[in-house]
Amino acid sequence: MEKKGFFSGSTLKWIAIITMFMDHSAKLLYVPQNMIDSFTPGMADFYTYLIKVFDVFLVLGRLSFPLFCFLLVEGFIHTSNVKKYFLRLLIFALISEIPYDMTFQLSYFSIERQNVFFTLLIGLVVLIGLKKFEERTPRNLLISLGIIGVGIFIAEFLQTDYGGWIGILLISVLYILREYPLVRCLAGCAVILQNSISGMFSFIFIYFYNGKRGRQWKYLFYWFYPLHLLLLLFIQQQLLLPYIRSIFSAIP
C-alpha cells in the first residue's frame, strides 16, 4: 500500500523554524525561580507561568534539528546546482557565527562552538561524497564509511551544534536510507535518541512528507537563524537583564 503524505517541504520548514524559535526562546530568556521570587508580584506571577511555557518549548524545540537535516537531504537530492547550495550554506554559516557567539558564548568571536550551519555544511560535503561512491561495491562501501567518519570527526573537532555523532550521522542515515521511508525514520529515531526522546516525534512529520516542495521561501531559514538570535539577544540584554539588575540593586 502506498504511503500517504500530508506535509510539504515548506510545511516542514515552518515547523522546524517555529520549534527552533521556541527552543532558543526558552534557553535565552529563562530566569531561575529564586530570582523570579524577587520580582514585583505581577511580574513574578507572569514569569512563573512563562517558565512553565518554556518547559513545553524545550520539549517541542527538539523537533527542529531532525527536520532541518531531512530538508538538507531533500535539498541536496533535488538541487540543480550543488555548488550554489554549498556556497549559500557557507555564507550564512559565516554570517551567523557572530550572532551565535554573542548569544551562546557571550563573545563576538569564539572558537569553542560553531553554529548549526556548519553542521549542515559538513553534512552537505558528506552527501556529495556519498553520492560519488553510490555504486554498491565493497570498495565504495569502505570509502563511504570513511567519508562519514571524517565528517563526524570534523564536526566533533569543530564542536558544531549537534556535532558529528548526532548531526552528521543523522544526515548520512537520512540520505542512505532515503528509498526506505519507514526504516529511515526508525534509524533516524535511534540517532536522535542520543539528544532527546522528544526529537523522535519529528519523524512522524518526516514519514508523512508528501514529496512536494510547497510554497518556497528560499532564504527564510537562512536569514531567520541569525536574525532571531539577535532579537532574543536584544530582549535578554536590553530588557530582561536590566530589569533583573534594577530589582536586585533596590534590595538593601
Its domain, for residue 51, covers 9-249
The confidence score (pLDDT) of residue 250 equals 57
Give 7's strand partners: 209
Res. 1 pLDDT band, cuts 50 70 90 = very low
Angle at 161 between CA 155 and CA 166, to 5 degrees: 65
Residue 135 lies in a domain: yes
Residue 74 lies in a domain: yes
Residue 126 lies in a domain: yes
Please state the domain count of the chain. Answer: 1
Give the CA diameter of the chain. 74
Residue 36 lies in a domain: yes
Residue 4 lies in a domain: no
Q: Cα(70)–Cα(151) distance, rounded to whole angstroms?
A: 17
Res. 2 pLDDT band, cuts 50 70 90 = low
**What string of DSSP letters covers 6-29?**
-B-HHHHHHHHHHHHHHHHHHHHS
pLDDT tens string 16-72: 999 999 999 999 999 888 888 888 888 888 888 999 999 999 999 999 999 999 999
With 0.75 as the threshold, say if the pTM is over it. yes
The confidence score (pLDDT) of residue 251 equals 53
Q: Cα(198)–Cα(243) distance, rounded to whole angstroms?
A: 33
Residue 2 lies in a domain: no
Residue 90 lies in a domain: yes
Residue 3 lies in a domain: no
Residue with the bigger pLDDT between 246 and 75: it is: 75
Kindly state the percentage of the chain with pLDDT values over 90: 73
